[in-house]
């Protein structure tokens, strides 16, 4: 067997005689032991790099008896003179939008967060008791975040917490009831969250329904539209002051490539189109429309909140993954069984949610659509700012009508 080809002259490699170090401000610099000189620019690529954030989970910086800084890995019980964050140093950005693809469709959520410490960060994940939502919550908890599982099924959510704690006893997890088919439940959830005086750094709107027979909620709205869009729109509005007070913070909206098959436009967007009656309802069309609503909501929300330090992005999690989303549609289950060898795992499916929620590559980045941890163009309607504004105003109107009906 031929030996693997090794690029010994990669621009990222440090030449012999050089050493990579980190300044107190997190800037990477390079020491030349032959000339006794230091410089900020990488000796091969000429790029400048920086590290961000705290040490990885389980690490601590100490000063030894000789007065030298060392780094202690408490999990693996080892000590090193090298700052572990060097392995994850990134090229300095000229603008926040200057980022390159580091992960892809094969990356897992855990790989995306490798080297990060999210201790002190608070995250809400809707629909966190199964599928991608569960993997998203589990991964954030693994890396130190306090994760609130916002779920309708409390029994299932508590079972998830038990499993995560068996794997990672130090995980910080909370379960709170949230039924997106009830605007009253959304309001009660937000009131309870605010009463706890917790910050909120990541609001991950993951929950969704698919393939439902025509159903109306207690708020007299079509179920798919309310659960997939309007209730989470309401939740965000109720919590955005907490998000702004906790900035920098992020809102992540799980959409789908199905948004490309919506026919919502400036010419037909209306209350009846968004929440159709029984005679006009088609389950797949309503799902596609709700997913376009997710993309448009994200686009306009980012425009409203980015100057407050809150950035919002939407995403497609992956192709034909078997989750509880398919429980209402037999044909989807059949499609999955046929396509299973070509699909993502749930850890891979959660990677883009995690990337949008916590990757330092997206600091200050919002208003975009991601697939496979990579920015991609949504549909033409998906970046129509006028359509996004029209949806926002209609959502406000429909929400107020439903809330007035409660009184």
- Cα–Cα distance between 202 and 312 in angstroms, integer? 10
| Adjacent-strand bridge partners of 63 | 69
- Cα–Cα distance between 30 and 102 in angstroms, integer? 23
- Cα–Cα distance between 270 and 277 in angstroms, integer? 12
User: Which helix (H) or strand (E) element contains residue 369?
Assistant: strand 369-371
DSSP secondary structure letter of residue 10: -
Cα distances (Å, whole numbers) of residue 364 to 26, 133, 243, 294, 367: 18, 24, 14, 20, 10
- Cα–Cα distance between 387 and 265 in angstroms, integer? 7
Contact 174, 147 (CB under 8 A): yes
Between helix 231-245 and helix 183-195 the angle, nearest 10°, is 10
- Cα–Cα distance between 248 and 271 in angstroms, integer? 34
Q: Confirm whether 287 is a catalytic residue.
A: yes
Contact 228, 209 (CB under 8 A): yes
Residue among 57, 122, 281, 287 flagged as catalytic: 287
Residues known to be catalytic: 287
């Amino acid at each position: 067997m031929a030996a693997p080809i090794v690029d010994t002259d990669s621009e990222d490699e440090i030449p012999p005689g050089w050493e990579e170090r980190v300044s107190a401000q997190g800037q990477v610099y390079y020491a030349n032991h032959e000339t006794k000189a230091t410089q900020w620019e990488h000796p091969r690529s000429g790029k400048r790099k920086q590290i961000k954030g705290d040490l990885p989970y389980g690490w601590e910086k100490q000063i030894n008896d000789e007065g030298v800084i060392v780094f202690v890995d408490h999990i693996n019980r080892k000590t090193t003179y090298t700052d572990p964050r060097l392995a994850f140093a990134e090229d300095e950005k000229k603008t926040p939008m200057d980022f390159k693809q580091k992960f892809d469709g094969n990356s897992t959520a855990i790989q995306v967060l490798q080297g990060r410490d999210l201790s002190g960060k608070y995250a809400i994940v809707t629909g966190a008791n199964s599928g991608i939502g569960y993997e998203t919550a589990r991964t954030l908890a693994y890396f130190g975040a306090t994760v609130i599982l916002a779920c309708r099924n409390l029994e299932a959510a508590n079972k998830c917490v038990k499993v995560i704690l068996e794997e990672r006893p130090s995980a910080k997890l909370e379960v709170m009831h949230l039924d997106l088919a009830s605007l009253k439940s959304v309001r009660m959830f937000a009131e309870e969250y605010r009463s706890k005086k917790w910050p909120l750094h990541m609001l991950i709107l993951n929950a969704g329904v698919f393939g439902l027979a025509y159903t109306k909620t207690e708020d007299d709205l079509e179920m798919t539209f309310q659960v997939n869009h309007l209730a989470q729109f309401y939740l965000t509005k109720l919590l955005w002051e907490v998000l702004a007070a906790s900035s920098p913070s992020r809102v992540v909206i799980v959409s789908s490539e199905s948004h490309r098959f919506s026919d919502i436009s400036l010419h037909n967007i209306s209350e009846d189109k968004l929440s159709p009656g029984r005679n006009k309802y088609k389950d797949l069309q309503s799902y596609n429309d709700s997913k376009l609503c997710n993309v448009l909501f994200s686009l306009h929300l980012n425009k409203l909140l980015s100057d407050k330090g809150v950035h919002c992005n939407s995403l497609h999690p992956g192709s034909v993954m078997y989750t509880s989303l398919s429980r209402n549609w037999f044909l989807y289950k059949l499609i999955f069984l046929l396509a299973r060898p070509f699909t993502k795992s749930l850890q891979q499916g959660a990677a883009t949610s995690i990337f949008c929620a916590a990757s330092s590559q997206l600091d200050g980045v919002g208003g975009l659509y991601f697939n496979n941890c990579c920015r991609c163009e949504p549909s033409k309607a998906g970046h129509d700012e006028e359509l996004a504004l029209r949806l926002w105003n209609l959502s406000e109107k429909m929400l107020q009508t439903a809330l007035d009906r409660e009184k």
